[in-house]
């Protein structure tokens, strides 16, 4: 999994020659000194998270293990306990957290305003949120490092990840692919707070809503997103903004945006004034029906 994330995350950097960038500043996270080894059992993982909410801890998950959640921690909402403290999950190789259909319609993880969550080297699969954030709903501080977020759905916004108002999210060397927002914005990621998407890839995500969009990433009103050395490709929406839909402030830096599709407008990027998009040394090409919209309003993008 780690090599997959590294390879995909490096696509933008491989295509675009530019200054080497270091990892963006992660959300503030107090040292979680306690280390807990979690056996290959979803009830054991739930218990370890509950304990770590009180005593900050790094949870080392089992390699070559699927934590198949069959009983939701919060029925109808979350597969695992809500993160309210300082928790780090480390997996690999081939560590997976997956929602079993027996758990019902629930997202995988939720981070409260008081919570800090970092995830390293884990697959997050098959979350099905009854609201926003198919895999993760974040209102606190979230870091994903070499993670694969795939096959998740939300009935509203953020098929893969929903970064809520006040939330701070760093998505680094991570794959966000084949997720769907079934009735809202951000098939891969929906951002209402502060998002850094660095050396990562959003691919084959779908936002299914005519009035909104953002197949790959949707940046909402007053939100801030930075896309650095990343790739957005083969994302789709029945609305506008196949790759990106922006209502806030978005920076696209050394990033490749190609082969995304919007049914309405802005195959690559769709900007809603007074939102602003700044493009720096990036490639935006081969998107349908056009690369950027409104026409000639996004400097550095041509149709």
Q: How much is the pLDDT for 6?
A: 37
Indicate whether 266 pLDDT > 80.
Answer: yes
- Cα 37 to Cα 272: distance, rounded to the nearest angstrom: 47
Q: How much is the pLDDT for 23?
A: 53
Q: Is residue 303 part of a domain?
A: no
Q: How much is the pLDDT for 24?
A: 55
Cβ contact 61:45 at 8 Å: yes
Q: Is residue 301 part of a domain?
A: no
Cβ burial of 5 (10 Å; 0-12, 13-18, 19+) is buried
Q: Is residue 299 part of a domain?
A: no
Q: Regarding beta strands 261-262 and 236-237, do their DSSP bridges make them parallel or antiparallel, or are they unpaired?
A: parallel
Structural domain that includes position 196: 2-293
Q: Is residue 298 part of a domain?
A: no
Q: Is residue 302 part of a domain?
A: no
31 or 1, higher pLDDT: 31
11 φ, ψ (degrees, to nearest 5)? -60, -50
CATH number of the domain bearing residue 269: 2.160.20
Q: Is residue 131 part of a domain?
A: yes
Q: What is the arrangement of strands in the sheet containing 161-163, beginning at the earlier edge strand?
A: 109-111, 136-138, 161-163, 189-191, 217-219, 244-246, 269-271, 292-293
For the chain, what is the domain count? 1
Q: Is residue 300 part of a domain?
A: no
pLDDT digit string (tens) for 78-105? 999 999 999 999 998 999 999 999 999 9
CA nearest neighbour of 218 among 242, 186, 193 = 186
């Amino acid at each position: 999994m780690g090599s997959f994330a590294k390879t995909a995350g490096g696509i933008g950097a491989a295509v675009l020659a530019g200054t080497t960038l270091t990892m963006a500043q992660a959300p503030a996270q107090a040292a979680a000194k306690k280390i807990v080894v979690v056996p290959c059992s979803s009830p054991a993982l739930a218990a370890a998270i509950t304990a770590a909410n009180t005593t900050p801890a790094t949870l080392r998950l089992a390699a070559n293990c699927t934590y198949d959640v069959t009983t939701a921690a919060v029925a109808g909402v979350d597969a695992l306990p809500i993160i309210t403290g300082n928790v780090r999950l480390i997996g690999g190789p081939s560590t997976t957290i997956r929602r079993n259909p027996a758990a019902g319609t629930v997202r995988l993880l939720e981070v409260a305003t008081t919570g800090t969550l970092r995830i390293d080297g884990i697959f997050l699969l098959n979350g099905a949120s009854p609201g926003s954030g198919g895999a993760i709903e974040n209102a606190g501080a979230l870091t994903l490092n070499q993670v694969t977020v795939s096959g998740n759905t939300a009935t509203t916004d953020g098929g893969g990840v929903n970064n809520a108002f006040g939330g701070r999210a760093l998505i680094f060397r991570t794959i966000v692919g084949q997720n769907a927002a079934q009735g809202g914005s951000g098939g891969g990621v929906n951002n209402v707070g502060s998002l850094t998407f660095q050396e990562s890839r959003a691919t084959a995500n779908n936002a299914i809503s005519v009035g909104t969009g953002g197949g790959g990433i949707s940046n909402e009103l007053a939100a801030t997103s930075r896309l650095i050395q990343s790739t957005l490709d083969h994302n789709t929406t029945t609305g506008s903004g196949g790759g990106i839909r922006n209502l806030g402030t978005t920076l696209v830096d050394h990033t490749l945006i190609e082969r995304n599709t919007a049914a309405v407008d802005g195959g690559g990027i769709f900007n809603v004034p007074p939102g602003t998009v700044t493009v720096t040394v990036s490639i935006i090409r081969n998107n349908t029906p056009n690369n950027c919209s409104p026409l000639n309003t996004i400097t550095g993008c041509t149709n």
